Structure 1
Amino acid sequence: MAFTHTDQQELFLPLVEGVHETPPWGAFMRNLVARTYARRAFLIITLANAMPSQEPTVIHVTAPRAVRERQLDFRRINALGLHPYGQLRPGRVYAIDEMLDFDDPARLALQRSALAEMGIRYGRWLRVSAGGAADAWLLLVREREDFSSAAVSTLAAIGPHLAASLRTLAALAEQRLQTAMAQAALARLGAGQLAFDAGGRVMATDPQAERMLTFAPAPDPRGGRRLQLLPAASSALEKACSAIAEGHIEATAILLDPARDLHMLLRKCDLALPEPHALPAVIGTLRTSVREDERAGTRILRELHGLSDREAALAEKLSRGETIIEAGRALRLTDETARNYSKRIYAKTGTRGQGDLVREVLGGLTPFA
């Protein structure tokens, strides 16, 4: 099948760009429905490492002529027990009649009746496989007449391109997972990060930093964003970024907001990024005072160090700066019992007093609980 300029504009470019949509490929699906004269279309996406209990992503697109009809839930089609679409041969276009159970007349009648009630008389299935990373199934349905050979050819021709886009989507999903894990860990510590160029313009931020800071309402005409700061703080930020970028200093801390006593650590960017990339000159780190949920922290301390429930609860409170007496009374312990528990805590954690215990707790896994 020869690809036309219209194919490129309406199908293949939206496939490339659609991996960044949420959910993906909405424009591609709408254009495909228009090109094939389908009444409805479903795209079912399953990532290879998804949990068995996780439902697949289902993208449903309706033609304008059917937009006022009742919304069709793919789970109704799935409940009919059609031929297991996970066993379809990738790249081949199947008619919906090939999915019916002709070995069981009663079941076949039930399937036909249910499809008719949903306004589905004709359909085409296409399975696309992304090399073990993900699978997708494309279903187009019509009500009054079958799909033309041109529509079926278009669907078949899309297969390899959709497979390539699906591989890209699976790779992006893995990168997004990695990013989300890193950001969640920083957020549990109350930390946020920004990337700056040599002029102090913001190249990227994580969600925690976005919440902690205010940005200038208008984009910087030279590209990037600017933090909305008092003049003194803005000047200090620009000078520090310039000095670090030129190699005069490796790191420094500046006061961003005197009212909140909010400081930022600026250090030379040492990220290893694959090409092509726009390497920041400076990484900025913010941190607020955040601690883990006390009950979760107590549980982790108990599991890490073999403490009893009361010992772990006392250790958690001691790590927050409470005195032995204060922490013990909060737990309804006598002063003498609290002192005895603290000695056991120090012995089991290998620490030599409350200050050493604080270091052990804050430098370990407990703050991530």
Structure 2
Amino acid sequence: MPDETEILAALFAASLGLTEGSSPQGSAAAREDLWHGFLSRLAAATQAESALLRLGGPGRPVTGWQVGADWDGPAEAVVERMRSGRVYSQIDLPGAGPSGPPLRALRWRLGREARVLLALRRRGEDFRAVDGLQLSNLIPYLGVVLGGWRQLEEERARALLDGQIAAALGGGWILFAPSGQVSAMAEGLEARLQALAGLSLRADGRLSLPEEAAQALRLALAAVAQQPGTVRQVVLSTEPRVELRLGLQTVGGELQLTGRLRHALSARALPCDRLARAFGLSRSEARLAACLCDGLSLAGAAQDLGWTLETARSTSKQIYARMEVSGQPGLLRRLLASGVWLD
């Protein structure tokens, strides 16, 4: 049976999203499992058939976890009338009536509006006094733990949004060990590099690169490690172009070899309808605009699309007029500076 230390350890681990050997950036499913683990330990210690934790409030979405037999917990109208920081039984739960299965419930106010409900239920024999004490012992920690959890979740959501925008614009980051092994990289970057340029991580943790690029990376890592303040640029791939700017940067309180990466964007990889809607073009015009943005000449674009050169030339004039740009350089600037990449 779990003791109080194990229950508290599970509570703090869930709030941080940390399993043994994991990072706070673990998967959402893994973080959900941690909350279920905390409730399972609490249920085992109190011999509860059901345990739930609910976080919500007026006008706020409800977040919750539950283990054991299905149970929704006390009704919202009942929870509204509960005092913060008091452990209730089925007998003194406000407005719930004197009958019903044995339960213990604790409400805690989180900030001005949010509230926390922690509740246990069993069938048959009532809870012991020590079982209610298990809930009482959690009171000093609930506000700190769940307040911290909510802040971390907000920061994770913002970091995810930042990462999605960086990925859409071809950006990413890689952290290297002095030996050249990759210690961490932006989420999804490995899959992008593999799909775009055939670059992947080898079994030894190093990037799989052509020999020339691998040698350039080794030299850059050595130079940056030996001379703080130095920045080196390494071309990891020429087609498509993938560039890495390597320097020392403090990450997580430690000075680390940090590579900021950018890979070439392809307008032809964007959905044609998205380009057409963004700039008021027809589908044919959008296809040609994408080719010209990717650096193809009119002749090259005509060949790529299976058009005659004259068709490509007349269509390009229509594009320039619709987008109010002067020639291919203006088209390129307009497209690359637009938000069409971020949908």
TM-score (norm: length of structure 1): 0.69
Gap regions ≥5 residues in structure 2? 18-29, 194-198
SS of residue in 2 equivalent to 1:25 = helix
Q: Aligned partners of 2:133, 2:207: CA distance in 1, in Å?
A: 53
**Residue of structure 2 equivalent to 1:360:** 334
Q: Are residues 1:22 and 2:28 paired?
A: no
Alpha carbons of 1:341 and 1:320: their partners in 2 closer, same or farther (altered >3 Å)?
same
Check 1:84–1:178 CA distance in 2 against 1; reply closer, same or farther (3 A cut). same
- Residue 215 (structure 1) shift: 2.7
User: In structure 2, do the counterparts of structure 1 residues 161 and 317 end up closer, same or farther at CA, with 3 Å as the change threshold?
Assistant: farther
Relative to its length, the structure with more strand (as a share) is: 2
For the residues of structure 2 that align with 1:316 and 1:133, how far apart are their CA atoms? 51
Q: In the aligned structure 2, how far is the partner of 1:37 from the partner of 1:139?
A: 13
Deviating runs (4+, > 6 A) in structure 1?
Answer: 327-330, 334-337
**Counterpart of 1:194?**
174
Say how many residue pairs are matched: 310
Structure 1 unaligned spans of 5+? 63-70, 103-107, 116-120, 219-224, 302-308
Distance (Å, rounded) in 2 between the aligned partners of 1:206 and 1:197: 15
Q: Is 2:188 the counterpart of 1:208?
A: yes
Give, in angstroms, the shift of residue 352 of structure 1. Answer: 2.0
Which digits, 9 at most, give the CA deviation of each residue in 1:96-117, with x for residues without a partner? Answer: 3455746xxxxx79xx7xx6xx
* Contact preservation (8 Å) 1:200, 1:226: yes
Describe the shift of the 1:357–1:96 C-alpha distance in structure 2 as closer, same or farther (beyond 3 A).
Answer: farther
Is 1:92 matched with 2:86?
yes
Give the letter aligned to residue 173 of structure 1.
E
> Any conservation in 2 of the 1:189–1:367 contact (CA below 8 Å)?
yes
AA in 1 matched with 2:285: L
The SS at the match of 1:253 is strand
The one-letter amino acid of 1:186's match is A
Q: How does 1:280-359 map to 2 (within 5 A)?
A: 280-287=256-263, 289-291=265-267, 292-301=270-279, 309-310=280-281, 314=285, 317-321=288-292, 323=298, 338=315, 341-347=318-324, 351-359=325-333
Counterpart of 1:176 in structure 2 is: 156
Question: What is the CA-CA distance between 1:151 and the residue it aligns to?
Answer: 1.2
* Residue identity in the other structure for 1:253: V
Q: What SS class does the counterpart of residue 4 from structure 2 fall into? A: helix
Query: How far does residue 193 in structure 1 lie from its aligned partner after superposition?
Result: 2.2
Q: Which residue of 2 aligns with 1:153?
A: 133
Aligned to 1:265, the other structure's residue is in SS state strand
Alpha-carbon separation, structure 2, partners of 1:226 and 1:47: 48
From 43, 52, 68, the counterpart of 1:33: 43
Q: Percent identity?
A: 21
Shift of 1:244: 2.5
Distance 1:368 1:31 in 2: 44
Partners of 2:78 and 2:95 within 8 A in 1: no
Higher RCO by CA contacts (8 Å cutoff, separation 6 or greater): 1
1:267 aligns with 2:243: no
1:200-227 Cα deviation digits (max 9, x unpaired): 2323211222213433435xxxxxx433
Computed over aligned residues only, the root mean square deviation of the Cα atoms, in angstroms, reads 3.8
- 2:8 maps to what in 1? 12
Q: Is the 8 A contact 1:42 1:59 kept in 2?
A: yes
Q: In the TM superposition, what is the alpha-carbon distance from 1:183 to its structure 2 partner?
A: 1.3
Task: Summarize the Cα distance change of 1:262–1:361 in structure 2 as closer, same or farther, 3 Å threshold.
Answer: closer
Q: Which amino acid aligns with 2:156?
A: R
- Does the Cα contact within 8 Å between 1:197 and 1:282 map onto a contact in 2? no
On the 8 A contact 1:329/1:335 being kept in 2, the answer is no
